Amino acid sequence: MNRYLTLSAIAFLTISLSSCEIVGGIFKAGVWTGLILVALVLGLIIFLFTRGGRKD
């Protein structure tokens, strides 16, 4: 029963979505995830340098 449900879901997605839409969605998610990660890493590096440079 579970196998038929999985196959029917895959068939429905294949029919309803074109491959260009799927690939476009994957790349959009990848770009935004990459940009957010780069911003977080740069923020962390800047924070560590400014905190490490102070002599309290």
| pLDDT interval class at 40 (50, 70, 90) | very high
Region 15-24: what's the mean pLDDT? Answer: 69
Rounded CA gap, 43 and 11, in Å? Answer: 44
The pLDDT value given to residue 55:
60
- What residue spans define the domains of the chain? 18-56
**What is the pTM for the complete model shown?**
0.47
What is the Cα–Cα distance from 3 to 32, expressed in whole angstroms?
34
Mean of pLDDT over the chain: 78
Give the model's confidence band at 19: pLDDT under 50 very low, under 70 low, under 90 confident, else very high. low
Query: Which position has the higher pLDDT, 40 or 8?
Result: 40
Q: What is the full DSSP assignment across 1-46?
A: -HHHHHHHHHHHHHHHS-HHHHHHHHHHHHHHHHHHHHHHHHHHHH
